[in-house]
Amino acid sequence: MSLTRRRFLTISAAFAAGPARALAPARWRGMALGAEAEITLHGPGAEEALEAALAKIRACEARFSLYDPASELSRLNRTGKLDASLPFRALMQLADRVHEATGGAFDPSVQPLWRALASGGDVAAARARIGWEKIVRDGNRIALGPGQALTFNGIAQGVATDAVAELLAARGFGQALINIGEFRALGGPWRLGLSDPEHGPLGTRTLNTGAVATSSPASLRLGQETHILDPRGAGGVLWSTVSVEAESAALADALSTAGCMMDADALHRAATALGGVRRITLVTHEGDLRSLSV
């Protein structure tokens, strides 16, 4: 999906100057997995590292992008089956964990419903195709149920963000901010602004060597529905914005998406079960903030 999907964390201030920060930072800006992206990197060898980071992003797109007809995901959706790469299977396994922990609120098989709402199709038939449990996996082989299609737009940007962060850390960079729809920091502190599409700026967060992802359902609508859909057909979205701080951007990404359909107690239980979650910020439809420490 586009930039408007849920990216409402913006950089409001860089970290203070220091020995490794005397040089102007190297930056890359572009598109990744359908969203605007930016990497800010400090230290010698930054330009070469940015080239390697861009190659890593393109590799993630070749696996998980809905916008590339040759990607693994597109081929799976088109044919209903795939001999999946190891990274693709790893993403599926993470989706398994989040699906279970959230009681099905996170379910990438919601894609047919998204398509039906966007195009005026048969919503009831599309909803009947949803079901993560309908997918059959045998080793590297994946087979979708009849009429199924997947979207990784609630997790793949986080996976790409983590992949770039790990690449840069392996190259010895200790100060970097990666934004591929979700944020992950090496070093810091980095100060990020939290904003809601209905209520505007709501404060700041300081990020040190961790990740943050934010979902705001009302940022895009499909007719009467928000773009974040409840795959269970339950009560719909409960929060105006959900922001998750975690050790990994992929986990923060997936949980912030599912969290929009979960009450605070259920979200806290899911975060505890998953591990690696630091804090969750909830914005009510009235604009009030609630913070959950995990």
Q: Pick from 213, 219, 218: which is nearest to 244 by CA?
A: 213
Sorted by where each starts, the structural domains of the chain and their CATH numbers stand as 3-63+154-293 (3.10.520.10), 65-143 (1.10.3980.10)
Give the 3-state secondary structure of residue 185. strand
- Per cent of the chain over pLDDT 70 is 88
Cα-Cα-Cα-Cα dihedral sign, residues 181, 183, 186, 189: positive
Q: Residue 80: which H helix or E strand, with range?
A: none
Using pLDDT thresholds of 50, 70 and 90, give the confidence band for residue 211: very high
Contact 71, 63 (CB under 8 A): yes
**Average of pLDDT values for 22-51?**
88
pLDDT digits (tens, 9 = 90+) for 96-145: 999 999 999 999 999 999 999 888 899 999 999 999 999 999 999 999 99
Give the 3-state secondary structure of residue 49. helix
Q: Residue 245: which H helix or E strand, with range?
A: strand 241-246
Q: Is the pLDDT at 13 greater than 80, yes or no?
A: no
Q: Pick from 269, 273, 277: which is nearest to 244 by CA?
A: 277
CA distance 186 to 173: 8
The per-residue pLDDT of the chain, averaged, comes to: 88
Q: The pTM is what?
A: 0.89
Contact 246, 205 (CB under 8 A): no
First to last CA, the chain: 29
pLDDT number for residue 171: 95
